[in-house]
Structure 1
Amino acid sequence: MTVIDAHIATAPARSRIGQDVLWILVGAAAVALSARINLLVVPVPVTAQTLAVLLVGALLGPVRGPLSMLTYLAVGTTGLPVFAGGGGLLYMFGPTGGYLIGFVPAAWLAGTLMARGWNNRPVACVAALTAATAVVFAFGLAWLAVYVPFGRPLLMAGLVPFIPGAALKITIASVVVAKLRG
């Protein structure tokens, strides 16, 4: 059970749906705001987005987490500039589209593993968030391969430069999840 699940479970049945919707919107907004925190811009911008994706998935769980990501993507495809480099349906077909799509299964994986108790042990929590991050990279690299030659150039453009930042984000997310649990 995630932290949010525990909170919602105590609410009256009629207000649970409203709380679910509210948490989904809060999760989508958190990812949208984190997209504005640019740390470095290369073919794939380095933002705080994946940190937010990990936290939203881990804290909202395997249903609300992915629904937050789908909400975020839906808002972005309407043209609102919620993505790191803008917005609109065509943005989804650019070099970062795969990373954005990867947010949905990554949030699901983080939420599923946390709901199964992986947040109870620090090493397991780090492993779960690392796996969720790997999902984002897998989707991102698969799509980025449309734009960048496969092999070393692809890894250098879409993975290697981002590993230190990913490790930092995983660490931060693990600490936050542990603090909220304790």
Structure 2
Amino acid sequence: MTQATHPTLARTLAPTPSLARDLLLILGGAALVALVAQVEIPLKPVPVTLQTLAVLLVGAALGWKRGAASLTTYLLAGAAGLPVFAGGSAGLAKFAGPTGGYLLSYIFAAALVGWLVQRYALDRRPLGAALAMLVASVVIYAFGLTWLGMVTGLKGQALLTAGLTPFLIGDSLKIGLAALLLPGAWALARRR
């Protein structure tokens, strides 16, 4: 028995399948993440950015495959030296530094939120969208905190203070905003 797959927002807005469409969606998602990564509040060892908002929106709007491909493209662009990471930074060294786990988590978080909305159509209502994004945010924190602890040697409360606590309010607001944007975009898509 096959499981139901609900159409993504991107597929609904651009229903004709083509390689060009998929490439544009993937590159557009990567560009969105790169753009909002430039909105940064410098904080050590991990800055506050709008990246997670874009990661969650890209995954939900594009679905799990294109969402993961988009974030992979974003990370490859940064690794290749394009200034797409927070504050215009780039290079392979970012993956070895304190933010490396957060960066790598983006692929998995986008794929997870994309899978959840495709499987359960959670992006049609604010509460469902927020739930999918909350689950994906746990993935971001799991990767990020694990790597941050390994790189810095921080443990326990010190690790949480450096890599979790400063972001909880902002991430809650980002999830709330994204959870309102997605159902709003679906309402517009239905009118088309």
TM-score by length of 1: 0.94
* Partner residue, 2:147: 143
| Consecutive unaligned residues in structure 2, runs of 5 or more | 1-6, 188-192
Alignment of 1:6-155 (within 5 A): 6-9=12-15, 11=16, 13=17, 16-85=18-87, 86-116=89-119, 117-146=121-150, 147-155=152-160
Structure 1 outlier segments of 4+, above 4 Å: none
The 2-side partners of 1:56 and 1:5 are apart by 13
The one-letter amino acid paired with 2:101 is G
One-letter identity of the residue aligned with 1:127: L
- Cα deviation for residue 121 of structure 1 reads 3.3
1:34-78 deviation line (CA, Å, top 9, x unaligned) = 110013423111011100001100101111111000000000001
Of 52-61 and 121-130, deviating more is: 121-130
Count of aligned pairs: 178
The CA distance in 2 between the partners of 1:178 and 1:136, in whole Å, is: 23
Deviation string 1:62-120 (CA, Å, 9 cap, x unpaired) is 11111000000000001111111411011111000000000000000111111121123
Structure 1 gaps, min length 5: none
Q: State the TM-score, normalized to the length of structure 2.
A: 0.89
Counterpart contact for 2:125–2:179, Cα < 8 Å? no
Q: Name 2:166's counterpart in structure 1.
A: 161
Q: CA RMSD in A?
A: 1.2
